[in-house]
Amino acid sequence: MLYLIKDTKQQLELQPREVNINRRIADLFKHLDKIYGTQGFILRASKLDAVDLIGSGQVQDRVLALQKILEADPTLNELAATDEIEEILDHLEDMVADIYARRAAEDKMQQQVQEKMEAKYNDYLRDIKNQIVKEQSNNHENAQTLRKLGQLEKMERSGLNGSALELLRPEKAEEIIGQEKALKALIAKLNTPFPQHILLYGPPGVGKTTCARLALEIARGQQNSVFREQATFIEVDGTALRWDPRESTNPLLGSVHDPIYQGARRELAEEGIPEPKLGLVSEAHGGILFIDEIGEMDTYLQNKLLKVLEDKRVFFESSYYDPNDERVPQYIKKIFTDGVPADFLLIGATTRPPEDISPAFRSRCMEIFFDPLTPEHIKQIVSNSANKLGIDIAPELGEIISNYSHDGRSANKILVDAYALANNESGTGLGQLLVEPHHIFEAIQNSRISPYIICKGSDEALTGKIFGVGVHGYLGSLIEIESIAFNVDAGTGTIRFNDTAGSMAKDSVINAASVFRMERSENLNNYDIHINIVGGGKVDGPSAGAAIYLAISSAVMNRPVRQDVAVSGEISIQGRIKPVGGIHEKILGAKQSGIKKILIPLNNIPDIPKDIKDIEIIPIKHIQEAYDHVFLPD
């Protein structure tokens, strides 16, 4: 029939064009009637809304009817142009020819199947009987097992709603608050033909994991990105990854299930064949492996992961593997011979400082720092979360929550707890729920949450008291340093200092005594001096040296110190202010604590946050430059 249609085309080409087209259309309808049968043809035309078009006197209508029936598309409504009809008919005739060819092949195959079944009928019947007997003999179902199956199915159909914190997790880039720069940097590092492994630093709960997920979604399928639409995002917590010295299990890299110890699949174990089990690095192939708290991973496991990053594949070994054993499946042979591809991008997140991360990891990774959230960011997060929960909140709620939380997760926990209290208080649950301040304070008391910012700047001036600035977990905060001096007989004075403050802070006190003697031409042993770090906290590093010196000077000279100024910097015995770490976080922390001016070492100017507002930053090179900014005028 395929050849018949082609011969008909050649004959029709000799006819006048209009007659040719009408005959070709008529022949196509005849073939469709033969293919589907008269009743089937009418039913198909009716379903595809082509009946009226078939009886039309217009050539374009009948061609459209043929298109609808052959392409099974009732939405086709556009009539063909006159000069396109012959080309469309060529296409439709080819489709009819394909249908005939397919049916001929199916008929031939069906005939061969029938002949084969007749020839092998007895063999098939015997195999089926044996299979049924085997299944019946291995069927261990009983009333108890069926009841347990029913319990499982019932559990599948019922369950609790998802966590409210999951509901409040940002799902779009517009919902990321306070980390716009970090997200932009992350997207830029993914949306490139040559992406590099990445380390994310920052305090907990500020959106490192969420930003990584969103960045991949944005980069997927982009023109410059290597990540395809189906690129995976595999997430794992580094604290849950531990190295097994027996190498019997390794969810990160994969392991080999030997037939004797762990037991591979039954059919493999019976043959003594080891079975490799792939790990997360293989699942992440072509995508991203995100390891949260990567700094908590076992050191040996980190080294193993570095090897995978270099090779871009995982290799397995087993004393039970015999490459010459013909019973070993081909896929297992390939795994042991060539390894398994593991070409992925690693994104590691950590709350630790960079110096605590393996230098080998840092040398292979780009680094992005996430900023702590400001009170304004917390207020915006609270407002967005209230909209997602569908509740009304009092205007002052954002301000209250920002005093007790410094990250989005903590803020949402307080809001969700208050929402639960308000919902329980309403009883009926009717109408728009309103969360008020007393709900927030009750939630805070129930969870024993303390205010995030304890020390705050003020407009007053106090003698012997000054603010230093410290950093813990990427969060800057004020350190209250106070000093008091008593006149004693010359040379009989002593200096007392917190034992819990740390040895480096004590060294800063000794340096401050030398600078005071140089600057004032007076020895501190003429006074009994007591220096206290309020709260008894340990001061890591020498960054409180300048502040300690100024507190001592204030106490001895009885000069009041402004309480809206903070100081950070190491002081040398010659009075020079040396650079210190964490300036970026210290400036942000001082600003959140109400400080209006902060003094930093001159060499730390490159560390000043860009676009910082509402705080004056004064770089100083020598301690004398601090006097006019710290002390009230005489």
- Per-residue pLDDT of 243-259, as tens digits, reads 776 666 788 888 888 77
Weakest mean pLDDT among 300-304, 489-493, 534-538: 534-538
- Do 584 and 515 sit in the same domain of this protein? yes
Residues 339 and 382 in one domain: no
Residues 280 and 399 in one domain: no
Residue 577 falls inside a structural domain: yes
pLDDT at 134: 58
200 and 326, same domain (yes or no):
yes
Please check whether residues 264 and 393 belong to one and the same domain: no
What is the rounded distance in angstroms from the CA atom of residue 177 to the CA atom of residue 165? 16
How are beta strands 565-567 and 597-601 bridged, if at all?
parallel
Tokens representing 130 are 């044996």
C-alpha–C-alpha distance, residues 457 and 567, integer Å: 12
pLDDT above 60: residue 62:
yes
Q: Which residue would you say has higher pLDDT here, 569 or 633?
A: 569
pLDDT per residue over 12-44, tens digit each? Answer: 444 577 888 888 888 888 888 888 888 888 888
Helix (H, G, I), strand (E, B), or coil: what is residue 371?
coil
Question: Do 517 and 583 belong together in one domain?
Answer: yes
Q: What is the C-alpha to C-alpha distance for residues 389 and 439, in angstroms, rounded to an integer?
A: 16
**pLDDT at 192 > cutoff 80:** yes
pLDDT tier at 6, thresholds 50, 70, 90: very low
* Spatial contact of 247 and 274, defined as CB atoms under 8 Å apart: no
Distance CA 314, CA 256 (A): 12
Q: Is the same domain home to 307 and 347?
A: yes
Q: Which residues sit opposite 257 in a β-bridge?
A: 275
Is residue 413, in this structure, part of any structural domain at all?
yes
Same domain, 390 and 508: no
Distance CA 119, CA 632 (A): 110
Show the domain range for 437. Answer: 378-446
Listed range (197-206, 298-307, 512-521, 539-548) with the worst mean pLDDT: 539-548
Query: How confident is the model at residue 132, as a pLDDT?
Result: 66
Nearest-angstrom CA–CA distance, 520 and 515: 8
My answer on whether 28 and 78 are in the same domain is: yes
CATH at residue 530: 3.30.230.10
Segment 393-423, tens digit of pLDDT: 988 999 999 888 888 889 999 999 999 899 8
- 528 pairs with which residues across the strands? 486
Q: Which of 446, 481, 503 is the last residue of a domain?
A: 446
Q: Compute φ and ψ for 87, nearest 5 degrees.
A: -65, -40
Of 338, 369, 400, the domain-final residue:
369
Residues designated catalytic: 543, 586
pTM value is: 0.69
CATH of the domain at 272: 3.40.50.300
Q: Is the pLDDT of residue 458 over 50?
A: yes
Does 68 share its domain with 196?
no
Which CATH number do you get for residue 403? 1.10.8.60
Structural domain total, the chain: 4
Same domain, 598 and 510: yes
Measured CA to CA, the distance from residue 234 to residue 249 in angstroms comes to 18
The string of pLDDT tens digits covering residues 538-572 is: 566 678 889 999 999 999 999 999 999 999 999 99
pLDDT of residue 27: 85
- Residue 368 reports pLDDT greater than 90: yes
576 versus 14: which is more confidently predicted? 576
Shared domain check, 576 and 471 = yes
